[in-house]
A and B are shown apart, each in its own frame.
Chain A
Amino acid sequence: MGVITEGDERTLVVKVSGEIDLVTSPQLEQELTRALDTRPEALVLDITGVTFLSSAGLAVLVGMHQYAGEHTRFRVVADGAATLRPIQLMGLDGEFPVYPSTAEAVAGRA
C-alpha cells in the first residue's frame, strides 16, 4: 500500500494505492489520523488507485469519518469494482459522500 498526502491546510488530499487489507489497514488508519489531526477543513481520500479494499479497510473509512467529526468534511473518491462496489455493498455511500474524481471531491459538488 502506498500513501501520498498533498494539499494545503484547507483541503488535504490523501491518495492511496495498492491493497488495503487486514495487514495494511492499521497503517492507513495511522496516516489518516495524522492528516486529520492537522484539522483541515476537508479531507479527500482518493482510493481509485486501490486494487483491493477489504472489510477491515472499510471499517477504517467508517472510523475515520467519525473521527473527522464536525470540523473536517470527509470525502471519498472511489470508482469501479475494487473500491466503489464494496463501499456500496456495505451501504457506506449513504454514510459519507463518495465522488468519482478528486476534482469533484475537492470542489465538493454532489
Chain B
Amino acid sequence: MAAEQALSEIPAAPHTGNGAATASEAARLAAVARYDIVDTPRDEAFDRIAALAARWLDAPIATVSIVDSDRIWFKATYGVSGITEVAREPGLCDSAIKQNAPYVVHDALADPRTAENALVRGELGVRFYAAAPIRNSEGYRLGTVNVLDTHPREIGDTELTTLQDLADVVMDELELRLSALTTLRHERQLRERIEGFASTLQRTLLPPSLPQVPGLELACHYHAASPSDVTGDFYDVFSLGDGRWAFFLGDVSGHGAPAATVTSLTRYTLRAAALHSPDPAAALAELNAALLRDPHVPQCCTVLFGILHPLPTGGFDIVLAGGGHQPALWLRPEHGTVEEIHPDGGMLVGALPDASFATSHLRLEAGQTLLLYTDGLTEARPGGEFFGEQRLETFLADNIDAGAETLIGELTTLIGGFDPAPEDDIALLALRVPAAPSDASRT
C-alpha cells in the first residue's frame, strides 16, 4: 500500500555528511525566501486548496504549510483557527519535506517518528497525518499540503495522488506569484533608473539656480508632466558681461532625448550668439540656422529671447525677440493691467529656412513684472476646460502686486491644484523690478 511505500522512502539516516546536509538546507531556505511567501496575508487561492484537501480526503483539518528555518508557517488552514505557525520539530511537516513522495503517519501516538511531537501530545491531539511536498522545478521542497485527523486511520493511493496534485497546484500558484513579483521588481528598477537618468539630464538642461541680477527679482518654476521623461521646455538667465543680461524661455515640440538635444543646442547657441550680437532677433536667426543644419534634430521650438539693459534711474530696457512663442505678460500695477508682449511676425524656430524674427521693446519699471511661460499652462484642462490665456491674465491681475517669488509660488500652487494634472511640461520665468527703492538696493 502507498503509505507503506512512502514510509520506506524515508532515509534511515542522511547518507551525506552533516556539512552537506546543512548546505542543502540553506539552499532550500534560500528557495523558500525567493518565493517571498512567508508572512504574507491570507490568500483565498490557498484557502481553497486547504478546503479541497480536507473535503477530498475527508479530514477535519488541512493546512498549506511552508517550512521556514525555525518554524512551520501556515499559508492556509482549514478546520483550525488562530494558529499561524508552529515550532519546527521532527515527525510531521519537518519530516515530510525530507522526501519526494507523500508522507503518511497512520497512528501518531504509536509511531516513534511522531509520538513526542507537540501537535500529537498537545491539545490538538493529532493521530493521523498525511502530507504531500510542495516541490519546485529545482527539486527544493518548500513545505507541504497536508491533512490531519484526531483518530488513527488508513489512506488510499487515489487520495494520496489527489494530495500530491494539490501540492503541485500550490507550487504552480507560487511560481505564478514569483514571476509576477519578478516582473514587478524589474519594472520598478527600470523605472527608477530612467527617472534618475531623466532628472540628471534635466539638471544639465536647466540652470541649477538663477543668477543674482542687480535691481531685478527673478523667480522660476518647472512643472515636469512625467518624472520619467526628459522635458521639452527650457529657460536660462545669464550675464553678457557688460552690465547687460540675457534671458530666454522656450518649448520644444516633443519630449525625451530628441527634445533634450534641441534644448541643449538652443542653450549654447543663444548664449554664444548673444555675446557677439546686440540684436536678440539675430540670435534667433542663428539658432534657426543651427537647428536646421543639424540632421540629428528633427524638432523645432518656440522661444522668447530677451536682452536686459539696466537703466541708470532703475528698471530695465528690454528688447524681446520672438520665435513663435506665446506672448510674454507685462504686469503693470500702476495701471492695473496685464499686457501681452508678442513680437509680431516672429516665426517658429528650426522649421523654416526663410524664417524671420521680430522684436518688441518695453521698459520694465519699479513694481512691474514680466512673466514668460510655456503653453503647458494655458493648455492644461482643470475640470475638463482649457485654462486658457484669459484665465491666466485674470489670475495675474489678481496678483499684480506680488513679488516675483510670491507670484511664481502662487502659480505653482495653482498648477499643483489642477485636476487632471497638466499633460505637458510647464516652465515659468518671472522678472520683476522691486517696487520700493530700498528693496532694489538690497539685491
A binds B: yes
- Given A89-B325, A91-B346, A91-B347, also A62-B379 (CB < 8 A): no
Whether the Cβ atoms of B386 and A62 lie closer than 8 Å is: no
Interface string of A48-73 (1 = CB under 8 A from B): 00001011101100110000000000
Whether the Cβ atoms of A90 and B347 lie closer than 8 Å is: yes
Question: 15 A-B pairs, CB-CB below 8 angstroms?
Answer: A52-B379, A52-B386, A54-B379, A59-B300, A62-B300, A62-B348, A89-B326, A90-B348, A91-B324, A91-B345, A91-B358, A92-B347, A92-B348, A95-B347, A95-B352
Q: Which residue of B lies closest to A90 (CB)?
A: B324
Whether the Cβ atoms of A89 and B356 lie closer than 8 Å is: no
Is A80 an interface residue when CB atoms closer than 8 A count as contact? no
Whether the Cβ atoms of B352 and A62 lie closer than 8 Å is: yes
Count of inter-chain pairs, beta carbons less than 8 A: 48
- Given A89-B324, A90-B302, A91-B324, also A58-B379 (CB < 8 A): no
A90 to B304, CA, bound (A): 11
- Tell me which residues across on chain B come within 8 A of A59, comparing CB atoms: 253, 300, 348, 351
A62 to B300, CA, bound (A): 10
- Tell me which residues across on chain B come within 8 A of A54, comparing CB atoms: 379
- Tell me which residues across on chain A come within 8 A of B253, comparing CB atoms: 55-56, 58-59
A6 to B89, CA, bound (A): 84
A59 to B349, CA, bound (A): 11
- Tell me which residues across on chain B come within 8 A of A52, comparing CB atoms: 379, 386
B356 to chain A, nearest CB (A): 7
Whether the Cβ atoms of A94 and B386 lie closer than 8 Å is: no
- Tell me which residues across on chain A come within 8 A of B386, comparing CB atoms: 52
* Most B-side CB within 10 Å, residue of A88, A89, A95: A89
Whether the Cβ atoms of B347 and A89 lie closer than 8 Å is: no
Is B116 an interface residue when CB atoms closer than 8 A count as contact? no
Whether the Cβ atoms of B300 and A91 lie closer than 8 Å is: no
- Tell me which residues across on chain A come within 8 A of B327, comparing CB atoms: 89
A105 to B356, CA, bound (A): 25
